[in-house]
Amino acid sequence: MEALCRLPRRRLPDLLKIVEPATEGVLAEVPRAGAAEVDEAVARARRALPAWRALAPGARAKLLRALADTLEDHLEELALLEARNAGKPIGSARGEMAMVVDTIRYYAGAPERLLGDTIPVAGGQAFTVREPLGVVGLIVPWNFPLNISAWKLGPALAAGNTVVLKPAELTPLSALRFAELATEAGIPEGVINVVVGPGRTCGQRLVEHPDVAKIAFTGSTEVGRTIAAAAAATIKRVTLELGGKSANVIFADADLEAAAAAAPWAVFDNAGQDCCARSRVLVEASAFDRFTALFEEHVRAIRVGDPLDPATEMGPLISAGQRDAVASFLDDGDPVVCRGSAPEGPGFWFAPTILAPQTRDARVLRDEVFGPIVAVIPFRDEEDAVALANDTIYGLSGSIWTRDGARALRVARAIETGNISINSNSSVRVTTPFGGFKQSGYGRELGPHALDAYTEVKTIFYSTS
């Protein structure tokens, strides 16, 4: 102890307390990294790059399959860690970890399928190959910590890049465990590096680092904007998955019972802390009262509580700050249709809430809430529905409920959004592209398209003259 006290103060590790949102207790303490640790991680990734990109496609595929298998063997452990650290229901956490495994396994098929083109030209042969970018920085948020990381890790690694992953300070535990499991699975040292530290130091250093070729970012539109601007200095490639204010459009001819039963999970999944949350429910005026009454019944029935209880459907919010930000929407004076229930005592709890704003410029219709508050608003006809759905800076997801197939397809094409579902609220699948229009970002994750964001096209010409 005496020896420890004599150490210069700056040599003592700066410990980050990781809080469990359901109890407000400290779940773990992790050394907090700074810019120097980012530089070390980038250097390790750079050293690992030549061997990783030179691996035969089949060998890289085999290692990624081994990684998927190892993750699957530890699925329950990872799910528990994520449920506790992010405060999400254990059932949801298991589903997310299954998607992590599926994502890595899907991209294990990619190294052997990174095809190029042969293009007819005069005097020789021209063809294209796909080269990795180099060292890629991955910056992710706290709402789906490991899942969103896997959407980036899978295609980045498959294409032969090495990575530095910066999880959100609030939720680093699953990423740290992922890195250990990757080593166990045989992924070589330096290919996957995790740095746990604040965005304004560690994140920013990654964005500015001259040896980082690309930043794949998921988070708020506000931070995304600063990242795009900072990345311009080194012409870094950037993909941005940002905020959303998606619409759930309910026509009067829809199966209203089915639409109302599904609507809570279109917005309150992950306690509303979901970029795809359909936080604006647009309902054709003639069905407004009927739909709203059905919707209310389902919202009142939501079981909010202990994330580790298998019966729980919604957990707490991530932090006290997030709860305050969400609660501020209740101060705007929009009429409250209903509030569900939430536990009292420790934990960042917030009851699911339906608001019925009386004007179309209400803040709850404009700003991302990122919590369990939803707004219902009537529309006149198809044209009005499309105009209202598009009256936002965002364009990430959305839903349309109607029995009229032609109208469903017209509206699906007319809404400015990267993903839209008809008679369903699903947004995300391993095999299909996901990403935003407008200020919800650019670039696509998942599906075959994600590989474009982690490779450069090189044209080679071989003269035959």
- For the record, the structure tokens of 113 come out as 């399928």
CB neighbour list of residue 393: distance below 8 Å, 6 or more residues apart: 221, 245, 438, 439
275 catalytic? Reply is yes
Task: Report how far residue 406's alpha carbon sits from residue 322's, in angstroms, rounded to the nearest whole number.
Answer: 41
Tokens 């779940």 found at:
27
96 catalytic? Reply is no
Edge-to-edge strand ranges of the sheet holding 124-132: 118-119, 124-132, 455-463
Please, what sign has the CA dihedral across residues 327, 331, 334, 335?
A: positive
Task: Report how far residue 362's alpha carbon sits from residue 375's, in angstroms, rounded to the nearest whole number.
Answer: 10
Taking the least distance from each CB to ligand NAP, the nearer of 142 and 291 is: 142
At closest approach, how far in Å is the CB of 253 from ligand NAP? Answer: 31
At closest approach, how far in Å is the CB of 160 from ligand NAP? Answer: 24
Q: What's the burial of 52, exposed, middle or buried (CB within 10 Å: 0-12/13-18/19+)?
A: buried
Out of 96, 275, 313, 445, which one is annotated catalytic? 275
At closest approach, how far in Å is the CB of 60 from ligand NAP? Answer: 26
Taking the least distance from each CB to ligand NAP, the nearer of 284 and 445 is: 445
**Which positions touch ligand NAP (CB under 6 A)?**
139-143, 148, 166, 168-169, 198-200, 203-204, 207, 218-220, 223, 226-227, 241-244, 275, 368, 370, 396, 436, 440-441
Taking the least distance from each CB to ligand NAP, the nearer of 63 and 215 is: 215
At closest approach, how far in Å is the CB of 116 from ligand NAP? Answer: 29
Of 183, 107, 205, nearest to 149 by C-alpha is 107
Taking the least distance from each CB to ligand NAP, the nearer of 227 and 354 is: 227
DSSP string, 297-318: HHHHT--B--TTSTT--B---S
Of 164, 147, 163, nearest to 102 by C-alpha is 147
Instruction: Kindly report the backbone phi and psi dihedral angles of residue 410, in degrees, each rounded to the nearest multiple of 5, phi listed first.
Output: -60, -45
At closest approach, how far in Å is the CB of 413 from ligand NAP? Answer: 21
Q: Are 422 and 404 in contact (CB under 8 A)?
A: no
Task: Report how far residue 156's alpha carbon sits from residue 396's, in angstroms, rounded to the nearest whole number.
Answer: 22
At closest approach, how far in Å is the CB of 444 from ligand NAP? Answer: 10
Taking the least distance from each CB to ligand NAP, the nearer of 218 and 248 is: 218
First to last CA, the chain: 77
Task: Report how far residue 465's alpha carbon sits from residue 125's, in angstroms, rounded to the nearest whole number.
Answer: 10
Out of 37, 241, 284, 368, which one is annotated catalytic? 241
At closest approach, how far in Å is the CB of 356 from ligand NAP? Answer: 24
DSSP 32: P
At closest approach, how far in Å is the CB of 437 from ligand NAP? Answer: 11
Taking the least distance from each CB to ligand NAP, the nearer of 256 and 271 is: 271
DSSP string, 45-89: HHHHHHHHHHS-HHHHHHHHHHHHHHHHHTHHHHHHHHHHHH---
Taking the least distance from each CB to ligand NAP, the nearer of 270 and 353 is: 270
- For the record, the structure tokens of 406 come out as 């032609």
Task: Report how far residue 103's alpha carbon sits from residue 67's, in angstroms, rounded to the nearest whole number.
Answer: 11
Tokens 């050293």 found at:
47
Taking the least distance from each CB to ligand NAP, the nearer of 142 and 454 is: 142
Which are the catalytic amino acids? 241, 275
